[in-house]
Structure 1
Amino acid sequence: MNQNKLKISILIPVLNEENCIGDLLSHINDNSVSSSIQEIICIDGGSMDKTVAIATAHKAEVIQSKKGRAIQMNTGARHANGDLLYFLHADTIPPKGFDQMILESVTQGYESGCFRMRFDTNNPILRFFAWLSRINHSLCRGGDQSLFIKKELFEKNKGFNEGYLIYEDTEFIRRLYQHTKFKVLPDYVITSARKYREKGWFKVQYHFGMIHLKNYLGAGPDELYQYYSKNILN
């Protein structure tokens, strides 16, 4: 497959991200190196701040969606025109040349993949858990690592399960591991540790670990969200 002919749609679900979205969109513009980015779409779940105005000012397309990251990302995928979908959180910064790395990976036969991850902190515990992102196993995957996928494969696997209000990225990626080769690229995205700063790094990491365990033991989306609401949101 000729990578020069492939087009990438960057899809960013947003909800009240005025403090992040402008920097991310500027970074994408400054650090993409190919001509293959067809569009940047921010899927807004009902922001009450300046997110939409900032995204529009940075030349991103903004579409409206019901609230919920899985719903928003599926909405963006249906709207996208690119051959490849690149899902990116508003507080996650991709490496320079990320677009070229994605294109090269796809031409090598990988239909989906992600980057390794680092947090924007020197906290040793968070650095350790981020280090695990280099391991190519579904247990080490999460949405903060970003996700690229051929649109055809995304549609074949019916996208994100909208029953999941959290954990939607991991649930989808685990399905991908069952059906295709998944590539973990050697470069890093930098993701914000803001939730850890707000709630306490030990508390958040412990409860995220419990959510992983509950999912592994068979807990469904409602049980996971109830646990998340009780222990992390409150």
Structure 2
Amino acid sequence: MVGERMKISIVVPALNEARVIRATLEPLQALRARGHELILVDGGSRDETSRLAEPLVDRLLHTEAGRARQMNAGARAAAGELLWFVHADTRIPADADDLLLRAVRTRPAGRAWGRFDVRLSGAHPLLRVVERSMNLRSRLSGIATGDQGLFVDAALFRESGGFPELPLMEDIEFSRRLKRYGRPLCLRQTLLTSSRRWEDQGVARTILRMWALRLGYFLGIPAQRLAAHYGP
């Protein structure tokens, strides 16, 4: 515990994120100063990600590439009672730790999990449709995605088996597991996540691809096959 407060371990999986990693980690320094733990898990970056991150984290781990594998490694190394998984291109609210701790106190001990609403960084009007649909779909379905900053009690993470080590859709499958223990806490405060994939590959085209991949997964197509169509 941090005094009387639950300790949060923030796990950031990264791969070749030198361009954005400092901007992600710097706002998290305030949480470190309040006694929380920051872990970066590098999946084999060939750029300066690890060098830039090292002075800004409590632990720097190295694994093979694979977001699920990286997040599981970070969770195993974590000392906190609450795990929070933050993508390497995401910006957090300044009071994120207070928001998390207030939320988890509304659930039985060791049984809390949930996510934030998400806002995309770009100005394209279709991105407003994307973020609203993501947040509404998640609220209705009880399924959280990685962009939404999934958080979970460490004990529940271990009990549920952690992230399935899939090349794609690991967040959706993990949410399905967690729903057996209760519905997610859906925080309306937003994380700001990069819209670079949509902008680099075309907003409309990326929306259609994401919908098709999700539909394929729900129809039972293996994540390994879908990953070939996900893009870089």
- What is the TM-score of this pair, normalised by structure 1? 0.90
> C-alpha distance in 2, partners of 1:185/1:3?
25
Per-residue CA shift, 1:68-125, capped at 9, x if unaligned?
0000000111111100000000001111201111001111116001100110012222
State the partner residue of 2:50. Answer: 52
Find the residue that maps to 2:4 and give its secondary structure. helix
Q: Is the 8 A contact 2:39 2:59 kept in 1?
A: yes
State the partner residue of 2:140. Answer: 137
Unaligned segments of structure 1, at least 5 residues: none
> C-alpha distance in 2, partners of 1:52/1:146?
21
1:157 aligns with 2:155: no
> C-alpha distance in 2, partners of 1:15/1:2?
30
Find the residue that maps to 2:167 and give its secondary structure. coil
Q: How many residues align?
A: 227
Per-residue CA shift, 1:39-59, capped at 9, x if unaligned?
100001111111111111224
1:120 aligns with 2:93: no
Unaligned segments of structure 2, at least 5 residues: none
State the partner residue of 2:103. Answer: 105
Distance 1:174 1:96, change over 3 A: same
Q: Is the 8 A contact 2:2 2:35 kept in 1?
A: no
> C-alpha distance in 1, partners of 2:202/2:24?
25
Identity %: 33
Pick which of 20-29 and 127-136 moved more: 127-136
> C-alpha distance in 2, partners of 1:71/1:219?
21
Q: Segments of 4+ in structure 1 off by > 4 A?
A: none
Q: Is the 8 A contact 1:83 1:151 kept in 2?
A: yes
Deviation at 1:202, TM superposition (A): 1.3
Find the residue that maps to 1:155 and give its secondary structure. helix
Deviation at 1:60, TM superposition (A): 3.9
Pick which of 5-14 and 124-133 moved more: 124-133
> Structure 1 counterpart of 2:60, which letter?
V
Deviation at 1:2, TM superposition (A): 10
